[in-house]
Structure 1
Protein backbone atom coordinates (compact mmCIF):
# COMPACT_ATOMS: atom_id res chain seq x y z
CA UNK A 1 0.00 0.00 0.00
CA UNK A 2 1.41 3.46 -0.95
CA UNK A 3 2.51 5.67 1.91
CA UNK A 4 0.74 8.96 2.59
CA UNK A 5 1.23 11.77 5.07
CA UNK A 6 -1.22 10.10 7.48
CA UNK A 7 0.26 6.62 7.07
CA UNK A 8 3.74 7.99 7.87
CA UNK A 9 2.31 9.62 11.00
CA UNK A 10 0.44 6.45 11.98
CA UNK A 11 3.47 4.22 11.47
CA UNK A 12 5.64 6.56 13.54
CA UNK A 13 3.00 6.60 16.27
CA UNK A 14 3.06 2.78 16.41
CA UNK A 15 6.85 2.55 16.79
CA UNK A 16 8.21 0.68 19.83
CA UNK A 17 8.81 2.95 22.78
CA UNK A 18 5.88 5.26 22.09
CA UNK A 19 3.74 5.02 25.22
CA UNK A 20 0.78 7.33 24.70
CA UNK A 21 0.04 6.69 21.05
CA UNK A 22 -3.05 8.88 20.82
CA UNK A 23 -1.12 11.83 22.23
CA UNK A 24 1.79 11.07 19.91
CA UNK A 25 -0.51 11.08 16.89
CA UNK A 26 -1.66 14.59 17.81
CA UNK A 27 1.92 15.80 18.30
CA UNK A 28 3.04 14.39 14.94
CA UNK A 29 0.07 15.77 12.99
CA UNK A 30 0.15 19.18 14.69
CA UNK A 31 3.89 19.48 14.05
CA UNK A 32 3.67 18.53 10.40
CA UNK A 33 0.67 20.78 9.73
CA UNK A 34 2.46 23.69 11.42
CA UNK A 35 5.57 23.04 9.32
CA UNK A 36 3.55 23.03 6.09
CA UNK A 37 1.82 26.29 6.98
CA UNK A 38 5.17 27.83 7.95
CA UNK A 39 6.78 26.83 4.64
CA UNK A 40 3.84 28.15 2.63
CA UNK A 41 3.59 31.50 4.44
CA UNK A 42 7.24 32.30 3.77
CA UNK A 43 7.39 30.98 0.22
CA UNK A 44 4.41 33.04 -0.89
CA UNK A 45 6.33 36.10 0.34
CA UNK A 46 9.24 35.19 -1.91
CA UNK A 47 11.43 33.62 0.78
CA UNK A 48 13.06 30.25 0.12
CA UNK A 49 12.60 27.55 2.76
CA UNK A 50 14.66 24.56 3.86
CA UNK A 51 12.90 21.31 4.75
CA UNK A 52 15.25 20.00 7.45
CA UNK A 53 17.48 17.17 6.14
CA UNK A 54 15.44 16.88 2.92
CA UNK A 55 15.92 19.82 0.59
CA UNK A 56 14.90 23.38 -0.19
CA UNK A 57 12.23 25.34 -1.98
CA UNK A 58 13.87 28.41 -3.51
CA UNK A 59 13.63 30.91 -6.36
CA UNK A 60 15.94 31.31 -9.34
CA UNK A 61 16.65 34.73 -10.80
CA UNK A 62 16.22 34.61 -14.56
CA UNK A 63 15.79 36.91 -17.52
CA UNK A 64 12.33 36.89 -19.11
CA UNK A 65 13.00 37.37 -22.83
CA UNK A 66 9.37 38.32 -23.46
CA UNK A 67 9.50 41.34 -21.19
CA UNK A 68 13.28 41.91 -21.23
CA UNK A 69 13.14 42.14 -17.45
CA UNK A 70 14.45 40.10 -14.53
CA UNK A 71 12.04 37.64 -12.97
CA UNK A 72 11.97 34.58 -10.71
CA UNK A 73 10.98 30.94 -11.07
CA UNK A 74 10.07 28.58 -8.21
CA UNK A 75 12.45 25.63 -7.79
CA UNK A 76 13.20 22.73 -5.46
CA UNK A 77 16.35 20.68 -4.81
CA UNK A 78 16.97 17.56 -2.73
CA UNK A 79 20.02 17.56 -0.50
CA UNK A 80 22.58 14.88 -1.37
CA UNK A 81 22.50 13.18 2.02
CA UNK A 82 18.71 12.75 1.87
CA UNK A 83 18.98 11.03 -1.51
CA UNK A 84 21.80 8.75 -0.38
CA UNK A 85 20.18 7.81 2.93
CA UNK A 86 16.88 7.07 1.18
CA UNK A 87 18.35 5.18 -1.77
CA UNK A 88 16.45 7.62 -3.96
CA UNK A 89 17.04 9.01 -7.44
CA UNK A 90 15.54 12.29 -8.61
CA UNK A 91 15.41 14.50 -11.73
CA UNK A 92 18.73 16.18 -12.49
CA UNK A 93 17.21 19.63 -12.07
CA UNK A 94 16.20 18.71 -8.49
CA UNK A 95 19.54 17.21 -7.43
CA UNK A 96 21.69 19.60 -5.40
CA UNK A 97 24.88 17.74 -6.38
CA UNK A 98 24.10 17.94 -10.10
CA UNK A 99 23.42 21.66 -9.76
CA UNK A 100 26.52 22.13 -7.59
CA UNK A 101 24.42 23.49 -4.73
CA UNK A 102 24.60 23.00 -0.98
CA UNK A 103 23.10 24.81 2.00
CA UNK A 104 25.83 27.45 1.92
CA UNK A 105 25.59 28.21 -1.78
CA UNK A 106 21.79 28.28 -1.64
CA UNK A 107 21.98 31.03 0.99
CA UNK A 108 24.62 32.91 -1.00
CA UNK A 109 23.14 32.67 -4.49
CA UNK A 110 19.40 31.96 -4.13
CA UNK A 111 18.47 34.26 -1.27
CA UNK A 112 16.59 35.22 0.64
CA UNK A 113 16.52 31.75 2.25
CA UNK A 114 15.32 30.76 5.71
CA UNK A 115 16.00 27.73 7.88
CA UNK A 116 13.05 26.46 9.86
CA UNK A 117 12.42 28.24 13.15
CA UNK A 118 11.26 25.59 15.60
CA UNK A 119 10.03 28.20 18.07
CA UNK A 120 7.67 29.62 15.45
CA UNK A 121 6.53 26.15 14.39
CA UNK A 122 5.94 25.23 18.03
CA UNK A 123 3.81 28.34 18.49
CA UNK A 124 1.64 27.31 15.56
CA UNK A 125 1.39 23.72 16.80
CA UNK A 126 0.79 24.56 20.46
CA UNK A 127 3.82 22.48 21.45
CA UNK A 128 7.41 23.01 22.60
CA UNK A 129 10.24 23.53 20.07
CA UNK A 130 11.96 20.39 21.36
CA UNK A 131 8.81 18.30 20.85
CA UNK A 132 8.37 19.61 17.31
CA UNK A 133 11.98 18.94 16.33
CA UNK A 134 11.86 15.44 17.80
CA UNK A 135 8.55 14.76 16.05
CA UNK A 136 10.00 15.78 12.68
CA UNK A 137 13.14 13.68 13.21
CA UNK A 138 10.97 10.60 13.88
CA UNK A 139 8.66 11.29 10.92
CA UNK A 140 11.65 11.71 8.61
CA UNK A 141 13.14 8.43 9.85
CA UNK A 142 9.87 6.64 9.04
CA UNK A 143 9.67 8.26 5.60
CA UNK A 144 13.21 7.22 4.73
CA UNK A 145 12.56 3.69 5.99
CA UNK A 146 9.54 3.40 3.69
CA UNK A 147 11.53 4.60 0.69
CA UNK A 148 14.43 2.24 1.44
CA UNK A 149 11.94 -0.63 1.66
CA UNK A 150 10.72 0.11 -1.85
CA UNK A 151 7.36 1.54 -0.84
CA UNK A 152 5.89 4.13 -3.22
CA UNK A 153 3.73 7.04 -2.13
CA UNK A 154 3.50 10.77 -1.60
CA UNK A 155 3.72 13.39 1.16
CA UNK A 156 2.20 16.86 1.09
CA UNK A 157 4.71 19.55 2.11
CA UNK A 158 2.31 22.48 1.69
CA UNK A 159 4.17 24.21 -1.14
CA UNK A 160 4.51 21.04 -3.15
CA UNK A 161 3.94 17.28 -3.14
CA UNK A 162 6.81 14.82 -2.75
CA UNK A 163 6.15 11.65 -4.76
CA UNK A 164 8.11 8.39 -4.89
CA UNK A 165 7.70 5.74 -7.58
CA UNK A 166 10.11 2.81 -7.94
CA UNK A 167 12.93 4.57 -6.05
CA UNK A 168 12.52 7.71 -8.14
CA UNK A 169 11.38 10.80 -6.29
CA UNK A 170 10.37 14.30 -7.21
CA UNK A 171 8.82 17.42 -5.72
CA UNK A 172 6.03 19.05 -7.72
CA UNK A 173 4.88 22.59 -6.96
CA UNK A 174 1.13 22.76 -6.42
CA UNK A 175 -0.74 24.50 -9.24
CA UNK A 176 -2.65 26.80 -6.89
CA UNK A 177 0.61 27.84 -5.18
CA UNK A 178 2.12 28.65 -8.57
CA UNK A 179 -1.00 30.67 -9.44
CA UNK A 180 -0.73 32.58 -6.16
CA UNK A 181 2.93 33.38 -6.83
CA UNK A 182 1.97 34.74 -10.26
CA UNK A 183 -0.99 36.72 -8.97
CA UNK A 184 0.66 38.26 -5.91
CA UNK A 185 3.64 39.56 -7.89
CA UNK A 186 6.28 37.39 -6.18
CA UNK A 187 7.67 36.07 -9.47
CA UNK A 188 8.06 39.58 -10.84
CA UNK A 189 10.11 40.93 -7.93
CA UNK A 190 13.72 39.80 -8.03
CA UNK A 191 15.47 39.60 -4.67
CA UNK A 192 19.01 38.63 -3.73
CA UNK A 193 20.81 38.59 -0.39
CA UNK A 194 22.62 41.75 -1.49
CA UNK A 195 19.39 43.52 -2.39
CA UNK A 196 17.82 42.49 0.92
CA UNK A 197 20.70 43.78 3.06
CA UNK A 198 22.04 46.75 1.08
CA UNK A 199 20.96 49.12 -1.65
CA UNK A 200 22.42 46.75 -4.24
CA UNK A 201 20.41 46.16 -7.39
CA UNK A 202 19.83 43.17 -9.62
CA UNK A 203 21.69 43.52 -12.92
CA UNK A 204 20.25 41.33 -15.63
CA UNK A 205 23.41 40.99 -17.71
CA UNK A 206 25.38 39.69 -14.72
CA UNK A 207 22.97 37.20 -13.21
CA UNK A 208 20.43 36.04 -15.80
CA UNK A 209 20.86 33.79 -18.83
CA UNK A 210 19.15 35.47 -21.76
CA UNK A 211 16.38 33.67 -23.57
CA UNK A 212 15.00 32.04 -20.42
CA UNK A 213 11.29 32.34 -19.75
CA UNK A 214 9.55 32.22 -16.40
CA UNK A 215 6.75 29.88 -15.39
CA UNK A 216 3.39 31.54 -15.87
CA UNK A 217 -0.09 30.32 -15.03
Structure 2
Protein backbone atom coordinates (compact mmCIF):
# COMPACT_ATOMS: atom_id res chain seq x y z
CA UNK A 1 0.00 0.00 0.00
CA UNK A 2 2.76 2.43 0.94
CA UNK A 3 4.61 1.75 -2.31
CA UNK A 4 1.50 2.27 -4.45
CA UNK A 5 0.72 5.53 -2.69
CA UNK A 6 4.27 6.71 -3.25
CA UNK A 7 4.11 5.91 -6.96
CA UNK A 8 0.81 7.72 -7.33
CA UNK A 9 2.13 10.76 -5.52
CA UNK A 10 5.21 10.81 -7.73
CA UNK A 11 2.97 10.62 -10.80
CA UNK A 12 0.78 13.48 -9.58
CA UNK A 13 3.78 15.63 -8.71
CA UNK A 14 5.19 15.04 -12.22
CA UNK A 15 1.90 16.11 -13.76
CA UNK A 16 1.88 19.24 -11.61
CA UNK A 17 5.44 20.02 -12.66
CA UNK A 18 4.36 19.74 -16.30
CA UNK A 19 1.68 22.36 -15.78
CA UNK A 20 4.00 24.67 -13.86
CA UNK A 21 6.47 24.45 -16.73
CA UNK A 22 3.67 25.43 -19.08
CA UNK A 23 2.75 28.35 -16.83
CA UNK A 24 6.28 29.69 -17.22
CA UNK A 25 6.07 29.61 -21.02
CA UNK A 26 5.71 33.05 -22.57
CA UNK A 27 3.91 33.03 -25.85
CA UNK A 28 0.62 33.88 -27.54
CA UNK A 29 -2.49 32.02 -26.39
CA UNK A 30 -2.85 30.18 -29.67
CA UNK A 31 0.51 28.50 -29.02
CA UNK A 32 -0.02 27.64 -25.35
CA UNK A 33 -3.68 26.52 -25.46
CA UNK A 34 -3.08 23.36 -27.54
CA UNK A 35 -0.33 22.29 -25.15
CA UNK A 36 -2.62 22.91 -22.22
CA UNK A 37 -5.34 20.78 -23.85
CA UNK A 38 -2.77 18.01 -24.33
CA UNK A 39 -1.76 18.29 -20.67
CA UNK A 40 -5.37 18.03 -19.50
CA UNK A 41 -5.83 14.89 -21.60
CA UNK A 42 -2.60 13.38 -20.28
CA UNK A 43 -3.75 13.88 -16.69
CA UNK A 44 -7.01 12.10 -17.50
CA UNK A 45 -5.11 9.19 -19.01
CA UNK A 46 -2.69 8.98 -16.09
CA UNK A 47 -5.46 8.99 -13.47
CA UNK A 48 -7.31 6.22 -15.25
CA UNK A 49 -4.13 4.16 -15.69
CA UNK A 50 -3.36 4.50 -11.97
CA UNK A 51 -6.81 3.19 -11.07
CA UNK A 52 -7.84 6.46 -9.44
CA UNK A 53 -11.42 6.24 -10.62
CA UNK A 54 -12.97 8.91 -8.39
CA UNK A 55 -10.24 11.40 -9.25
CA UNK A 56 -10.50 10.55 -12.97
CA UNK A 57 -14.26 11.07 -12.85
CA UNK A 58 -13.89 14.46 -11.14
CA UNK A 59 -11.23 15.47 -13.63
CA UNK A 60 -13.34 14.45 -16.61
CA UNK A 61 -16.36 16.32 -15.27
CA UNK A 62 -14.34 19.51 -14.67
CA UNK A 63 -12.57 19.44 -18.02
CA UNK A 64 -15.85 18.70 -19.79
CA UNK A 65 -17.28 22.02 -18.63
CA UNK A 66 -14.44 23.92 -20.26
CA UNK A 67 -14.37 24.54 -23.97
CA UNK A 68 -10.84 24.83 -25.32
CA UNK A 69 -9.97 26.25 -28.71
CA UNK A 70 -6.71 27.41 -30.31
CA UNK A 71 -7.65 31.07 -29.95
CA UNK A 72 -8.91 30.70 -26.36
CA UNK A 73 -7.80 33.84 -24.53
CA UNK A 74 -9.30 32.84 -21.16
CA UNK A 75 -7.23 29.67 -20.83
CA UNK A 76 -5.22 31.13 -17.86
CA UNK A 77 -8.44 30.90 -15.85
CA UNK A 78 -8.98 27.34 -17.07
CA UNK A 79 -5.38 26.57 -16.17
CA UNK A 80 -5.81 27.88 -12.63
CA UNK A 81 -9.02 25.88 -12.21
CA UNK A 82 -7.50 22.59 -13.32
CA UNK A 83 -4.38 23.22 -11.26
CA UNK A 84 -6.53 23.72 -8.17
CA UNK A 85 -8.30 20.44 -8.87
CA UNK A 86 -5.00 18.59 -9.29
CA UNK A 87 -3.70 20.06 -6.03
CA UNK A 88 -6.85 18.79 -4.33
CA UNK A 89 -6.23 15.31 -5.71
CA UNK A 90 -2.63 15.45 -4.49
CA UNK A 91 -3.82 16.54 -1.04
CA UNK A 92 -6.24 13.64 -0.84
CA UNK A 93 -3.69 11.14 -2.08
CA UNK A 94 -1.26 12.29 0.60
CA UNK A 95 -3.55 10.63 3.12
CA UNK A 96 -4.86 13.78 4.74
CA UNK A 97 -8.40 12.86 3.72
CA UNK A 98 -10.34 9.58 3.71
CA UNK A 99 -11.89 8.73 0.36
CA UNK A 100 -14.87 7.03 2.00
CA UNK A 101 -18.30 8.40 2.87
CA UNK A 102 -19.29 7.40 6.39
CA UNK A 103 -23.03 7.90 5.81
CA UNK A 104 -24.42 7.66 2.29
CA UNK A 105 -26.71 10.70 1.74
CA UNK A 106 -29.20 8.43 -0.06
CA UNK A 107 -29.51 6.36 3.11
CA UNK A 108 -30.94 9.28 5.07
CA UNK A 109 -33.01 10.97 2.36
CA UNK A 110 -36.11 10.53 4.57
CA UNK A 111 -34.51 12.46 7.43
CA UNK A 112 -35.49 16.07 8.19
CA UNK A 113 -33.30 18.64 6.44
CA UNK A 114 -31.76 19.76 9.74
CA UNK A 115 -30.56 16.20 10.41
CA UNK A 116 -29.21 15.86 6.88
CA UNK A 117 -27.15 19.02 7.39
CA UNK A 118 -25.73 17.63 10.64
CA UNK A 119 -24.78 14.39 8.89
CA UNK A 120 -23.06 16.30 6.09
CA UNK A 121 -20.85 17.75 8.82
CA UNK A 122 -20.32 14.29 10.31
CA UNK A 123 -19.22 12.99 6.91
CA UNK A 124 -16.91 15.94 6.30
CA UNK A 125 -15.26 15.62 9.70
CA UNK A 126 -14.78 11.88 9.22
CA UNK A 127 -13.19 12.29 5.80
CA UNK A 128 -10.77 14.89 7.15
CA UNK A 129 -9.79 12.71 10.09
CA UNK A 130 -11.55 14.86 12.68
CA UNK A 131 -13.04 11.86 14.46
CA UNK A 132 -13.92 13.59 17.74
CA UNK A 133 -16.00 16.14 15.85
CA UNK A 134 -17.58 13.44 13.70
CA UNK A 135 -18.60 11.42 16.77
CA UNK A 136 -20.23 14.46 18.35
CA UNK A 137 -22.19 15.28 15.17
CA UNK A 138 -23.37 11.68 14.79
CA UNK A 139 -24.54 11.64 18.39
CA UNK A 140 -26.44 14.85 17.79
CA UNK A 141 -28.13 13.45 14.68
CA UNK A 142 -29.30 10.32 16.50
CA UNK A 143 -30.64 12.38 19.40
CA UNK A 144 -32.55 14.74 17.10
CA UNK A 145 -34.04 11.86 15.13
CA UNK A 146 -35.27 10.16 18.29
CA UNK A 147 -36.92 13.39 19.40
CA UNK A 148 -38.49 13.73 15.94
CA UNK A 149 -40.01 10.26 16.37
CA UNK A 150 -41.64 11.21 19.67
CA UNK A 151 -42.83 14.60 18.44
CA UNK A 152 -44.26 13.26 15.17
CA UNK A 153 -46.24 10.59 17.06
CA UNK A 154 -47.57 13.02 19.68
CA UNK A 155 -45.53 11.41 22.47
CA UNK A 156 -43.09 14.25 23.17
CA UNK A 157 -44.37 14.76 26.71
CA UNK A 158 -43.21 11.25 27.61
CA UNK A 159 -39.57 12.19 27.05
CA UNK A 160 -39.57 15.61 28.65
CA UNK A 161 -38.37 16.69 32.06
CA UNK A 162 -40.23 19.94 32.47
CA UNK A 163 -39.57 22.04 29.38
CA UNK A 164 -36.49 20.11 28.29
CA UNK A 165 -36.04 16.73 26.69
CA UNK A 166 -34.31 13.97 28.63
CA UNK A 167 -30.83 12.81 27.67
CA UNK A 168 -29.91 10.44 24.87
CA UNK A 169 -29.70 7.38 27.14
CA UNK A 170 -33.22 7.98 28.37
CA UNK A 171 -34.44 8.63 24.82
CA UNK A 172 -33.08 5.27 23.66
CA UNK A 173 -34.62 3.52 26.66
CA UNK A 174 -38.01 5.12 26.03
CA UNK A 175 -37.91 4.36 22.32
CA UNK A 176 -37.08 0.70 22.88
CA UNK A 177 -39.70 0.42 25.62
CA UNK A 178 -42.37 0.72 22.96
CA UNK A 179 -44.58 3.17 21.16
CA UNK A 180 -46.71 3.52 18.05
CA UNK A 181 -43.75 2.36 15.98
CA UNK A 182 -42.42 -1.08 15.24
CA UNK A 183 -38.68 -0.92 14.59
CA UNK A 184 -37.17 -3.87 12.81
CA UNK A 185 -35.13 -6.39 14.76
CA UNK A 186 -31.95 -5.04 13.20
CA UNK A 187 -32.77 -1.49 14.25
CA UNK A 188 -33.50 -2.56 17.83
CA UNK A 189 -30.17 -4.33 17.98
CA UNK A 190 -28.44 -1.33 16.47
CA UNK A 191 -29.98 1.07 18.95
CA UNK A 192 -28.64 -1.07 21.76
CA UNK A 193 -25.16 -0.73 20.27
CA UNK A 194 -25.63 3.01 19.80
CA UNK A 195 -25.34 3.33 23.55
CA UNK A 196 -21.66 2.96 22.76
CA UNK A 197 -21.99 5.87 20.35
CA UNK A 198 -23.44 8.03 23.10
CA UNK A 199 -20.46 7.19 25.27
CA UNK A 200 -18.09 7.87 22.38
CA UNK A 201 -19.72 11.23 21.68
CA UNK A 202 -19.62 12.12 25.36
CA UNK A 203 -15.93 11.27 25.62
CA UNK A 204 -15.14 13.10 22.38
CA UNK A 205 -16.85 16.22 23.69
CA UNK A 206 -15.83 16.20 27.33
CA UNK A 207 -12.94 13.84 28.17
CA UNK A 208 -9.76 15.90 28.36
CA UNK A 209 -7.35 13.08 27.54
CA UNK A 210 -9.48 11.14 25.06
CA UNK A 211 -8.87 11.43 21.32
CA UNK A 212 -11.18 9.43 19.03
CA UNK A 213 -9.73 7.47 16.13
CA UNK A 214 -11.18 6.05 12.95
CA UNK A 215 -11.73 2.58 14.39
CA UNK A 216 -13.90 4.02 17.16
CA UNK A 217 -16.40 5.14 14.54
CA UNK A 218 -15.93 2.41 11.93
CA UNK A 219 -16.93 -0.35 14.33
CA UNK A 220 -20.32 1.37 14.78
CA UNK A 221 -20.82 2.46 11.16
CA UNK A 222 -23.02 -0.45 10.02
CA UNK A 223 -25.41 -0.15 12.97
CA UNK A 224 -25.37 3.62 12.64
CA UNK A 225 -26.58 3.59 9.05
CA UNK A 226 -29.31 1.04 9.81
CA UNK A 227 -30.59 3.04 12.76
CA UNK A 228 -30.52 6.38 10.99
CA UNK A 229 -32.56 4.95 8.12
CA UNK A 230 -35.03 3.33 10.51
CA UNK A 231 -35.47 6.41 12.69
CA UNK A 232 -35.85 8.71 9.69
CA UNK A 233 -38.51 6.42 8.24
CA UNK A 234 -40.41 6.18 11.54
CA UNK A 235 -40.32 9.96 12.06
CA UNK A 236 -41.58 10.61 8.53
CA UNK A 237 -44.25 7.91 8.72
CA UNK A 238 -45.48 9.13 12.12
CA UNK A 239 -45.63 12.70 10.84
CA UNK A 240 -47.71 11.68 7.83
CA UNK A 241 -50.04 9.59 9.99
CA UNK A 242 -50.65 12.41 12.46
CA UNK A 243 -51.24 14.81 9.60
CA UNK A 244 -53.88 12.61 8.08
CA UNK A 245 -55.95 12.29 11.26
Shorter-chain TM-score above 0.5 = no
Which of the pair is proportionally richer in helix? Answer: 2
More relative contact order, 1 or 2 (CA 8 Å, 6+ apart): 1
Scaled by the length of structure 1, the TM-score of the pair is 0.28
Larger radius of gyration: 2
TM-score of the two chains, using structure 2 as the length reference: 0.25
Q: More strand by proportion, 1 or 2? A: 1
